Amino acid sequence: MSVYEQITQARASAIGEIEQVDDMESLTALEPVLFGKKSTLGGLKRLMGEVDAAEKAAVGQALNQAQADVRQAHAMVKERFIAESRREQLETERLDLTESLEKSMRGRLHLVTQTMERLEDVFVGMGFTVSEGPQAETDWYNFEALNLPAAHPARSMFDTLYLDLGERTEIGDGEGGEATNILLRTHTSPVQIRVMESNPPPIYTVCPGRVFRRDTADASHMPVFHQIEGLVIDRGISLTDLAGTLNEFTAAYFGGAIRSRLRPSYFPFTEPSAEFDITCVICEGEGCQTCQRTGWIELGGCGMVHPNVLSNCGIDSEEWTGFAFGFGIDRLALMRHGIKDLRDMYTNDVRFLEQF
Amino acid sequence: MKVLLSWLREFAPIEGDPYELADHMSDLGMAVEETRPLNPLKGVVVARVASLRPHPEADRIQLVDVEVEPGNPVQVCCGAFNMSEGDLIPFATIGTVMPDGMEIAQRKMRGELSNGMCCSAAELHLGADHDGIMILPQELQVGASLMEQLGLVGDVLWDLEINPNRPDAMSVAGVARDLAARLNVPFEIPDWSVPVVEAREADLVSIHVEDEELCPRFTARVIRGVTVEKSPLWMQMRLTLLGMRPINSVVDVSNYVMLELGTPNHTYDLSLVPNGHIGVRRATDGEKISTLDDQERTLLSGDGIIVNEESAPIGIAGVMGGASTEISESTEAVLLELASWESESIARTSQRLGLRSEASARFERGTDWRLNVNAVERFCFLLSEISSGEIEIVGEVLDVHGALQETGPVSVRTSRISLLLGREFTSAEIRELLLPIGFDVETTDEEDIQLVTVPSFRPDTETETDIAEEVARHYGYSSLGTRVPRSPDAGRLTAQQKMRRMIRQIMIGSGLVEAMPNPFLAPGDVSKAGLSVANPVQLLNPLAVEESVLRPSLLPGLLTSAAYNYSHRNTGLRLFETGAIFLASDDPTSSLPDESEQLAALLTDSDAAHAVGLLRELGDGLKVELTLINADDLPGLHPTRGARICIGEEEIGSVGEIDPVILERFEIEDRCAWLDLRLDGLIEAAIAGSGVAYQPVSTFPSSDVDLAFVVDEEVQASAVEQTLRRAAGDELQGLQLFDVFRSDQMAQGSRSLAFSLKLQAKDRTLTDEEVGGVRQRCIQAVETSHKATLRS
Ligand SMILES: [Zn+2]
């Protein structure tokens, strides 16, 4: 038998043995037989010395080729075993991911808080700070400083809840040095007064918060609700600055299709005063039932801060001018989510709270 | 305030699309709530009632034979009984589409055919009356279109919302003046002068105003030879469309003048005013008067009243006349009163008596005393125009007044107006905007300054800033343009506000849902929740006693919310709230109650450990060390499952379970974990703890030491932990209680606490000896401080 025939035979028998193996263990056991010094091909390598010098290169090449073929056959089978065993392993790990028994543990912020934070974020983006103040207030901060003295007929616009603090109810004194009533703020405007009293202009701030009115609860009124007001005091602030600021806010909060407009109105604390309308968010201005076919919905009130209010806060109204605006937060939430009855927001039924 | 196009046109040639005109009015600050081009009511005709017969089968309806063509009656079933034979009525023929969209068809009612419908004013949207069929004047043409016969075709009705600072716009003429200026058409009040007669002795009237503040001006005139009759249809229609009920010619003219000029007025039957003596004074407490509506009213001092010569009340000033001098069919001589009243007094009296009327609404805003004489003329002109007979108007007009308030001109700087409005105006532009609405403008030597005289019908306008509003209004708010001012500083939340948001995020991350319970409580709610608050803050004027106390704690509200959910089968609740609580202040110099913001959480079907776990989340998230001290005396809490929460030495809240007795009162049948702390305290600590300096991570290996002690139940685990922490010293990197174990094998009243300590030095590997040394120190410290023994 020529050396070439021996090589061919050894190769064939090694590959034959590889193909007979049917698990990884047997394959591993076979490895010394295939590649070790005692393997047939290994034995043939030792015979190389006996080959003619002229043949040496050719035989060597044949031998290397045979060894490469055996290694390849071995590698293929080994790979197959690895894949099979992985497949088996994975199959044992199979899970129905829809079988989850865990209840979701994520909580929810109240819809009013979510809305308030969204509003604050928009105004912070526009360069405003966020100011806060007490909910129980003096008559001075809630009314008098806002150009609403006790006899002012416009006070009837506010159904006010007063506190009974025993003797203190009458002794507390307002800025004017007279006895004052303590009440639950009817708007967040007293925060504006506090900000103006303690900070020199320029002022760019919003005052979100809880407010109170002596209103019987119904689908669109609650005695306790939330408002955000804005205040800007700077040199040269005008009605057009107010219109521009409200436009920018409207586009940022509601989206570009929604615009705002001002209509003349009356508030004791602003002059000129305006009503602030936005494009109806339901019909985007086409006219629908919600907007009584006008294409606009009333959002809030605004105007140039009344000179009396500025001087009540020690600000020179010749040097500084400013604007203020305000609107309800609860109503925005209602509009955005199509909630028909304001009272639903305050039952604290988790089936309501968890929807948002 | 409603206005009718045809009426406005009596003052100015106003034309245009009804909706465009509405936009102009809204833009002028008279917000249009409704624009109603009057429906031509095709198919509705004037018809005659030929005969009335009972329905054979029904009592509540009758059969009416209605003639649209003479001699050719059709039968109709009708549910109203106010018609008589020969009456003219509006009749909707078959096929008519009514204003509400209903189509009239032939119908059978209880076996009888009905070939159309007799209409009420309300059904035609021509008034509020829906009780009876509208009875039309006899002069109308039978068979003709109703709206044509009424002269209403093409007319438009607008409903306006008038702000309290616009008394002038509470009148047809005032609205016309504003709108005419906007449309650039002339506005004019017509000449209403009338021929007059000399006064006779019987016409002599005297006016005695005791209180000029109450009544700055009282103008009166006598008209005799009056026949009290029905006013003409056009007048009745206008009154009806503007929301008033026609009564008789004298009262209708009175109301018509009020709507037209904004001047409420009153008429007396002169023969019922003894000696023509009229006095004006303030009432004294308890005085009584029987008013036009036949009610007896009790007056208070301060109410303005009209009195007769015996000083007995015959009218409530500006609010309602008295019954004793009421106009009736037998009235022949009328005394007309046009008075100006103090607006606050009218507002107070009308509100207290529940008598708010078209008249009081105008007096409250303030009427124009200058218009009194004008309105007297208008009244006389109209009454003579509509009267069937000749009336005699006494020439003398009594006019009693003190020094009438004239406001001097306001100095207005063009530069200031431009600054406030954000647009460069010229002085001439300002003049051109103000003149058409009745302001007088005088230029001065200084180009920037003009003197503006405010008309008396605009009492709200007093200052330069007020005039800026007028300029803006007539220039158009939307025409001024927009501009966005920029703050010199960056917008931001304060550190406290950011921390509050983070706390809320930690709560929702732990699965809690934010609730917003009512901050108002019923008087018993505080004690029902197991709290005792000496003097909670009460409301002076609560809407209901159930909402008369301001919460001194978040507990009652959250318990109520939980109870609401339990009653709706929502269990396993995880609720939290951040909100203000109120307590009467201890500080005698403070006028406000103490108000502090709290954070509270209520977990139902959970024990104290859950609340403590939540607290740890909070402490961990905020990097604030919160320590607990077990306490048996926390209000509202389970007496053996509660602890105070402290930051350092300062107590900031409590944690544990809610007392089962309280849960029973709220019908919550599960254990409830509870956490309540002062938000500002927590936030301050969190801010103080933020921004810590970096500690390099040790590269040397750490060693673990586990120690278990048998400790008396009286000793808090946290106390043992503190001792270990102190004893272990600087090399302690971590300390964790990892097991609590109770068994009969241990002494009564004790338990095993197992801690794992992780030791690591920054600069070297700890030797076995060093680790052993720490271990010994720890054991010794715990054993001596807490009478504990090491478990082996
Ligand atoms: Zn719409």
Domain count, chain B: 6
Q: Which residues of B touch A168 (CB under 8 A)?
A: 584-585, 590-591
B22 located within any domain: yes
3-state secondary structure of B765: coil
Average pLDDT over residues B184-189: 94
Average pLDDT over residues B291-319: 91
**Are A271 and B481 an interchain contact pair (Cβ–Cβ within 8 Å)?**
no
Closest chain B residue by Cα to residue A181: B591
Q: How far is the CA of A294 from the centre of ligand 1 (A)?
A: 7
**Are A153 and B542 an interchain contact pair (Cβ–Cβ within 8 Å)?**
no
Residues A184 and A313 both lie in one domain: yes
d(Cα B294, Cα B17) in Å, to the nearest integer?
46
B196 located within any domain: no
Residues A116 and A86 both lie in one domain: no
Give the domain extent around A10. 3-93
Residues B639 and B746 both lie in one domain: no
**Are B512 and A210 an interchain contact pair (Cβ–Cβ within 8 Å)?**
no
Residue of B343, B362, B483 to mutate for A, most A C-beta atoms under 10 A? B483
Least CB-CB distance to A243: which of B469, B480, B509?
Answer: B480
Query: For residue B680, is pLDDT > 90?
Result: yes
Is any Cβ of chain B less than 8 angstroms from the Cβ of A234? yes
Least CB-CB distance to A163: which of B422, B537, B573?
Answer: B537
d(Cα A317, Cα A323) in Å, to the nearest integer?
12
Q: Rounded to a whole number, what is the distance in Å from the CA of A44 to chain B's nearest CA?
A: 55
Task: Tell me the CATH number at B125.
Answer: 2.40.50.140
Strands B88-92 and B117-118: antiparallel
The residues near B479 (Cβ < 8 Å, ≥ 6 apart) are none
Are the beta carbons of B662 and B531 closer than 8 angstroms?
A: no
Beta-strand runs (E) in A100-176: 129-130, 136-138, 163-164
Task: Tell me the CATH number at A271.
Answer: 3.30.930.10
**Are B480 and A113 an interchain contact pair (Cβ–Cβ within 8 Å)?**
no
Are the beta carbons of B284 and B303 closer than 8 angstroms?
A: no
Average pLDDT over residues B548-555: 96
Are the beta carbons of B277 and B206 closer than 8 angstroms?
A: yes
Residues A78 and A122 both lie in one domain: no
Average pLDDT over residues B761-765: 91
Give the domain extent around B389. 201-401
C-alpha torsion sign, points A216, B347, A264, B263: positive
Residues A167 and A288 both lie in one domain: yes
Domain count, chain A: 2
Q: What is the ipTM of this complex?
A: 0.86
Task: Provide the percentage of residues in chain B whose pLDDT is more than 90.
Answer: 71
Residues A178 and A122 both lie in one domain: yes
Are the beta carbons of B581 and B517 closer than 8 angstroms?
A: no
Task: Tell me the CATH number at B469.
Answer: 3.30.56.10
Residues A138 and A203 both lie in one domain: yes
Residues B241 and B298 both lie in one domain: yes
Residues B742 and B786 both lie in one domain: yes
B719 located within any domain: yes
Q: How far is the CA of B33 from the centre of ligand 1 (A)?
A: 14
The backbone torsions φ and ψ at residue B749, rounded to the nearest 5 degrees and listed phi first, read: 75, 25
Pairwise pLDDT comparison (A151 vs B79), residue with the higher score: B79
Residue A168: its pLDDT value, please? 47
Write down which residue in A36, A61, A93 finishes a domain: A93
Least CB-CB distance to B595: which of A134, A264, A321?
Answer: A134
Is any Cβ of chain B less than 8 angstroms from the Cβ of A110? yes
**Are A165 and B537 an interchain contact pair (Cβ–Cβ within 8 Å)?**
yes
Q: Rounded to a whole number, what is the distance in Å from the CA of A246 to chain B's nearest CA?
A: 9
Residues B418 and B535 both lie in one domain: no
What are the structure tokens assigned to A105, written together?
């543990």
Average pLDDT over residues B534-555: 93
Residues B141 and B165 both lie in one domain: no
**Are B592 and A273 an interchain contact pair (Cβ–Cβ within 8 Å)?**
no
Write down which residue in B345, B377, B401 finishes a domain: B401
A100 located within any domain: no
Residue A175: its pLDDT value, please? 43
Write down which residue in B401, B419, B448 finishes a domain: B401
Residues A238 and A284 both lie in one domain: yes
C-alpha torsion sign, points B267, B272, B274, B275: positive
Q: How far is the CA of A218 from the centre of ligand 1 (A)?
A: 23
The CA R_g of chain A, rounded to the nearest whole Å, is 42
**Are A272 and B469 an interchain contact pair (Cβ–Cβ within 8 Å)?**
yes
Q: How far is the CA of A286 from the centre of ligand 1 (A)?
A: 6
Closest chain B residue by Cα to residue A306: B465
Is any Cβ of chain B less than 8 angstroms from the Cβ of A114? no
**Are B537 and A123 an interchain contact pair (Cβ–Cβ within 8 Å)?**
no
Q: Rounded to a whole number, what is the distance in Å from the CA of B577 to chain A's nearest CA?
A: 9
The backbone torsions φ and ψ at residue A346, rounded to the nearest 5 degrees and listed phi first, read: -120, 15
A141 located within any domain: yes
Is any Cβ of chain B less than 8 angstroms from the Cβ of A165? yes
SS3 sequence of B564-595: HHHHCCCCCCEEEEEEEEEECCCCCCCCCCEE
Least CB-CB distance to B164: which of A153, A271, A306?
Answer: A153
Residue A174: its pLDDT value, please? 41
Write down which residue in B635, B658, B689 finishes a domain: B689
Residues B379 and B436 both lie in one domain: no
Residues A202 and A349 both lie in one domain: yes
Q: How far is the CA of A299 from the centre of ligand 1 (A)?
A: 13
Residue A180: its pLDDT value, please? 66
Q: Rounded to a whole number, what is the distance in Å from the CA of B478 to chain A's nearest CA?
A: 7
Q: Over the stretch B99-150, which tens digit does the pLDDT of each residue have?
A: 888 999 999 888 899 999 999 988 888 877 778 898 888 888 999 999 988 8
Least CB-CB distance to B487: which of A138, A204, A239?
Answer: A204
The backbone torsions φ and ψ at residue B586, rounded to the nearest 5 degrees and listed phi first, read: -80, -20
**Are B347 and A348 an interchain contact pair (Cβ–Cβ within 8 Å)?**
no
Closest chain A residue by Cα to residue B543: A214
Write down which residue in A93, A123, A143 finishes a domain: A93
Residue of A238, A249, A323, A352 to mutate for B, most B C-beta atoms under 10 A? A238
Residues A306 and A341 both lie in one domain: yes
Crossing angle of helices A3-20 and A24-35, rounded to 10°: 170
**Are A262 and B565 an interchain contact pair (Cβ–Cβ within 8 Å)?**
no
> Which residue positions in chain A have pLDDT lower than 50?
168-179
Q: Rounded to a whole number, what is the distance in Å from the CA of A340 to chain B's nearest CA?
A: 18
**Are B489 and A204 an interchain contact pair (Cβ–Cβ within 8 Å)?**
yes
Is any Cβ of chain B less than 8 angstroms from the Cβ of A251? no
B337: which strand partners?
B220, B266
The residues near B122 (Cβ < 8 Å, ≥ 6 apart) are B128, B129, B130
Least CB-CB distance to B343: which of A123, A124, A153?
Answer: A153
Q: How far is the CA of A276 from the centre of ligand 1 (A)?
A: 16
Residue A167: its pLDDT value, please? 56
A103 located within any domain: no
**Are B539 and A163 an interchain contact pair (Cβ–Cβ within 8 Å)?**
yes
A106 located within any domain: no
d(Cα A229, Cα A242) in Å, to the nearest integer?
13
Closest-CA residue to B416 (of A238, A234, A310): A238
Residue of B499, B591, B596, B599 to mutate for A, most A C-beta atoms under 10 A? B591
Q: Which residues of A touch B485 (CB under 8 A)?
A: 204, 232, 234, 237, 241, 244-245
Is any Cβ of chain B less than 8 angstroms from the Cβ of A304? yes
**Are A240 and B422 an interchain contact pair (Cβ–Cβ within 8 Å)?**
yes
A104 located within any domain: no
B489 located within any domain: no
The backbone torsions φ and ψ at residue A137, rounded to the nearest 5 degrees and listed phi first, read: -135, 165
A66 located within any domain: yes
Closest chain A residue by Cα to residue B503: A109
Q: Rounded to a whole number, what is the distance in Å from the CA of B676 to chain A's nearest CA?
A: 18
Residues A193 and A133 both lie in one domain: yes
Closest chain A residue by Cα to residue B548: A163
**Are A151 and B517 an interchain contact pair (Cβ–Cβ within 8 Å)?**
no
Q: Which residues of A touch B576 (CB under 8 A)?
A: 107
Is any Cβ of chain B less than 8 angstroms from the Cβ of A289? no
Average pLDDT over residues B721-737: 93
Q: What is the pTM of this model?
A: 0.86
Residues B371 and B235 both lie in one domain: yes
Residues A117 and A82 both lie in one domain: no
Closest-CA residue to A302 (of A233, A343, A259, A243): A243
Residues B380 and B452 both lie in one domain: no
d(Cα A63, Cα A305) in Å, to the nearest integer?
101
Residues A152 and A274 both lie in one domain: yes
Closest chain A residue by Cα to residue B473: A264
Average pLDDT over residues B721-731: 93
What are the structure tokens assigned to A84, written together?
């099979």
Residue ranges of the alpha helices (H) in A21-155?
A: 24-35, 40-47, 53-92, 111-125, 139-142
Q: Over the stretch B605-641, which tens digit does the pLDDT of each residue have?
A: 999 999 999 999 999 999 999 999 999 999 999 999 9
A105 located within any domain: no
Q: Rounded to a whole number, what is the distance in Å from the CA of A333 to chain B's nearest CA?
A: 14
Residues B512 and B601 both lie in one domain: yes
Residues B22 and B144 both lie in one domain: no
Residues B395 and B338 both lie in one domain: yes
Write down which residue in A93, A124, A146 finishes a domain: A93
Residues B669 and B723 both lie in one domain: no
A98 located within any domain: no
